[in-house]
Chains A and B, each alone.
Chain A
């Protein structure tokens, strides 16, 4: 059974204080690992897809990396508007197109 575990569950940062969010996964044949941002009462907003170990992607203050067992979302010099829940999801090779989501990391950035 595919499993996705995110840590920490919640993270409080001061504005400008860089940190990383972790997504550990167990999956049969990874087709893709996805990062989403979710604001309260909204749908997940797509950030990145990573397909193979060693791959990295960047967008503004966010950088996602992938190994064979986990992915990290690095946040550099965060701003209060980066406050949200960050979701990780995997798509397995034997599970069609469905995504299996982790529980998310709730990020709070204080000014």
Chain B
């Protein structure tokens, strides 16, 4: 069964450092997303990406965040200057159509120290 692959599974970084979280969506999917889940809290939307551009973003997704699809397979989330409150599980997801169920990756646990 096709799956969304995320790397690394766990990243520890110092406050103020830049991090890049990587994702390989399912190959025939057209819509790509990033969500995050702070420990014990709800899954929260960050950004959606379609046709090589951001289609929508939440208030969380400020100037410190950016996304990129550098080639035909990878989809990345960059946090320029990490803060302690960025510590969370970050999930990449993709979907074939906009109102189909997403397929989520296993997540990257980001710990900012």
Residues on A lying within 8 angstroms of B by beta carbon are 31-32, 34, 36, 41-49, 51, 87, 89, 91, 95-104
Are the C-beta atoms of A31 and B103 separated by less than 8 Å? no
Could you give 5 example pairs across A and B, Cβ below 8 Å?
Answer: A49-B101, A96-B98, A97-B48, A97-B99, A98-B45
Residues on B lying within 8 angstroms of A by beta carbon are 4, 6, 31, 33, 35, 41-45, 48, 50, 55-56, 58, 91, 93, 95, 98-107, 109
Of A31, A43, A102, which contacts B104 at CB under 8 A?
A43
Are the C-beta atoms of B102 and A46 separated by less than 8 Å? yes
Q: List the A side residues contacting B43 at CB < 8 Å.
A: 44, 87, 89, 99, 101
What is the CA–CA distance of A102 and B102 in the complex, to the nearest angstrom?
A: 16
A-B contact count (CB 8 A): 65
Q: List the A side residues contacting B42 at CB < 8 Å.
A: 101-104
Are the C-beta atoms of A46 and B101 separated by less than 8 Å? yes
Are the C-beta atoms of B99 and A96 separated by less than 8 Å? no
B18 to chain A, nearest CB (A): 24
- With A98-B58, A101-B44: A31-B99 Cβ-Cβ less than 8 Å: yes
Q: List the A side residues contacting B105 at CB < 8 Å.
A: 43
Of B6, B45, B107, which contacts A99 at CB under 8 A?
B45
What is the CA–CA distance of A41 and B41 in the complex, to the nearest angstrom?
A: 13
User: Which 8 pairs, one residue from A and one from B, show the smallest C-beta to C-beta distance?
Assistant: A43-B104, A46-B101, A96-B56, A101-B43, A98-B45, A97-B98, A44-B104, A32-B99
